[in-house]
Chains A and B, each alone.
Chain A
Amino acid sequence: MRITRRRLLAGAAAGAVGAGAGIYELVDRLASSPERTVVSRRLREQHLLEGVETITAEGVEVLVPPLHHRVVTARVRRGTDLRAAQAELERRLAGLDRRFEPTPAGLGVTVAWGLPYFRRLVPGRARTHLPVDLRATRERNRPVGALLDAVRFPSDPRDTILEDNDLAVLLRSDEAEHVDEGAKAIFDGFDALEQTSVRRGFVGGGFSGRQGLPKQMAVAAGVAGAELIPDGAQLFLGFTSTQRAAMGQGRIANLETLGYVRDPHGYFRGGTTMHLSHVHEDLEAWYLNFDFAQRVSTAFRPDLEDVRPNAQTVRQSPRDVSSERKVERGYHRFGAIGHSAAIQTSSRLRQRHVGPDGTVYEAGTAIPLRADFNTLDNPFAWSSQPQRDGMSRNPAAGIHFLVFNPTSDDFHRNRLAMDGVLPDGTKLRFPPGSRGQGFNSVLKTTHRQNFIVPPREHRSFPLAEL
């Protein structure tokens, strides 16, 4: 059956429950679910998804994320009995645990909580129990929490909205029905939670030579510049994002793993922090203003050579990792910094580290664990504040950027590096929107918020029971 643009837009106009279903129905018609490993154990970490397949694309190991993604943000209704709500949410989540295995074939559910929840509803317990970022505390000579309010970065527009949601629920699966069932099981008839937004999207490369989901979806939705996306691209901007070496592995993004954090009572052990933002992507600017070589320079680093023409998966292994000095040299020589190279100055391990569970992480290992996905939301599939959020019914290319880092400050360091503010304090100055500043000239961030992801046993209304 052919999906028309009218039908896509009609779906996008639906309310919170079926938000945007029309557009995203197409995912199942365009892509088939890969074979997945069956896993039944449940890790302490909510943010880790098991059974994620690894394939080889252009000689590089690549993770194959779930096809369907949804984030639902919410506020806790005033006057809610927190203990009762805690029990109810846990009952609902446990029900999902029983129904679905924690893999892309089943359903990944991650419940994350924002500072507004802790400040408004459990302020005293939050003061004593929320983890402290030791590294940031030491550097700034004042206490810095592991969970921070989001900030606007130098390349962000002034009108980027810093959100104040109490919680965000991330649902991931190869099966759209599982995501639907998960959202309904958590939110339907649960008066304690007032939904504030629904964000939907997809990831899917055409690694076996087929057309990837991003191009097919964008073309079907009539997004400007959709035809310019390379056929097999995993994401709208044309390069593979989920290569294994560029993704945090195992428990590296846990609060406790790298020793960045003091967790006073151990309550959040097995947890992490999460950053969630929405970013518009100007596909026409990217593909019409940058030729392939310039896109490689911009996405990776300006002196990168020997990249096969039209390659989509460009190796970013520990031996390809950049440093502040290399980035600075590139800046002075080319007037540009590559997106990956700049971020690697803060996102890769400087030295070998042995985690508390004995896992060895070699120097150059990636720390952030990304779970970002492309979207046609503009900016969300549904919002409780459509005017404030700038909601439009016209689909637009973008990304719901979602990443797990050991602390919010760790994410902020990565994001600042993307703008040329390197971990050693070096500031590489660029005019606003400069092409030299990596992807920034084609991106526009609309919303940001940081969250903490408690371990599974405290995922429901954390600290409410104390």
Chain B
Amino acid sequence: MRKIGVVLLAALAVAVALLASGCGADRAGQSAAKAAAQGCPARALAGWQRLANRIHAPVYCPAWMPDPFDGVIGGRWNTIDSVSPDRSYLIGFIWLEAGSGELHVNLRGYPGRTRIPTCTDVNTVNGVTRRTKIACFSDPTGHRRVAGIDATVYTANQDADRWHVLYAWRRGGSLYTLSQHVAVPLTYRKVVANLNRMLRSLVLVRPSS
């Protein structure tokens, strides 16, 4: 029953994506949508389901991620797996190779709240440390509308999303984000392409218990 729910949601997401993107959808978009249609990859589903169950709220499983990521929580590339007492989560995937570069993708969720969270900017100068409260995601520069998601694009972000381009959207009274680090070997343009493709591939996984 749980699996059927996921598949139905994914199929609905694909339908909306196709409608939204129209005839001009690129190959990558179709491929991401196809991935979403197939649902959260079998290897990854268990981890995302466990997360949804743990926080008692839906989470988004990426059916497509840039190579070599596989979206498996607890897998080789999943280096951040964090759930806070307020049930907000941060799942991060990092590939790092000296001399070649870095790939870093974060997925976040803030169940039961839609406000942009507040971060602390720490600045130490001449031995004096100053802490300033600032928005964790700022400089909105547009929207990406796909698969029923209306994501705002933020380009200046903090903490684990510093130097990332971040997409944030609201669903069912919760805030979700998807971000990727702009770092060699990627450019801003390539990161945006990756984020668009990941966004199209997202599959909602609801808590089963």
Contacts and interface: CB of A to CB of B under 8 A. Distances in A.
Interface of A: 222, 224-228, 284-285, 287-294, 331, 334-336, 429-431, 434-436
Nearest to B139: A291
Nearest to A430: B125
Going nearest first, the 3 A-B pairs with the smallest beta carbon separation are A291-B156, A335-B125, A291-B138
Contact of A289 (B128, B135, B162): B162
Nearest to B158: A291
B138 A292 contact: yes
A460 to B, nearest CB: 47
A429 B182 contact: no
Interface of B: 123-126, 128, 130, 134-135, 138-139, 141, 155-157, 162-165, 182, 187-189, 192
Contacts of A290: 156
A227 B188 CA distance: 8
A431 B156 contact: no
6 contacts: A222-B187, A225-B182, A292-B139, A334-B123, A431-B125, A436-B123
Nearest to B135: A291
Residue with the highest number of chain A CB atoms closer than 10 Å, among B125, B128, B138, B156: B125
B200 to A, nearest CB: 20
A293 B121 CA distance: 13
Contact of B155 (A288, A331, A334): A288
A284 B164 CA distance: 10
Contacts of B189: 227
Contact of B182 (A288, A336, A436): A288
Contacts, number: 65
Given A224-B188, A227-B189, A287 B156 contact: yes
B104 to A, nearest CB: 13
B37 to A, nearest CB: 30
Most B CB contacts (10 A, CB to CB) among A228, A287, A291, A293 go to A291
A221 to B, nearest CB: 12
Given A335-B130, A435-B123, 5 more contacts: A291-B134, A291-B139, A292-B139, A429-B125, A434-B125
A292 B124 contact: no
A439 to B, nearest CB: 16
Contacts of B134: 291, 293
- Interface SS of chain B: helix, strand, loop or mixed? strand
Q: Which of A222, A294, A431 has the most CB of B within 10 A?
A: A294
Contact of A335 (B123, B162, B187, B188): B123
A331 B156 CA distance: 23
B156 A335 contact: no
Contact of A224 (B130, B138, B187): B187
B125 A228 contact: no
Nearest to A431: B125
A331 B130 CA distance: 11
Given A288-B164, A288-B182, A436-B123, A294 B156 contact: yes
B156 A336 contact: no
A224 B192 CA distance: 13
A334 B192 CA distance: 33
Nearest to A337: B125
Contacts of B164: 288
Contacts of A291: 134-135, 138-139, 156
A413 to B, nearest CB: 22
A227 B189 CA distance: 8
A434 B122 CA distance: 12
Contacts of A285: 163
A289 B156 contact: yes
Nearest to B164: A288
Contacts of B125: 331, 335-336, 429-431, 434, 436
A430 B179 CA distance: 31
Contacts of A289: 156, 162-163
A435 B132 CA distance: 14
A305 to B, nearest CB: 15
A335 B192 CA distance: 33
A225 B163 contact: no
Given A224-B187, A225-B188, A288 B156 contact: yes
Contacts of A294: 156
Contacts of B139: 287, 291-292
A284 B181 CA distance: 11
A228 B162 CA distance: 15
Contacts of A292: 138-139, 156
Contacts of A336: 123, 125
Contacts of A334: 123, 130
A287 B123 contact: no
A327 B130 CA distance: 17
Q: Which of B157, B162, B188 has the most CB of A within 10 A?
A: B188
A434 B139 CA distance: 22
Contacts of A227: 188-189, 192
Nearest to A435: B123
A108 to B, nearest CB: 36
- Most chain B CB inside 10 Å of its own CB: which residue of A288, A292, A294, A429: A288
Nearest to B192: A227
A35 B192 CA distance: 39
B136 to A, nearest CB: 10
B188 A284 contact: yes
A397 B134 CA distance: 29
B165 A288 contact: yes
A63 B108 CA distance: 46
Nearest to A223: B187
Nearest to B137: A291
A94 B162 CA distance: 56
A328 to B, nearest CB: 12
Contacts of A287: 139, 155-156
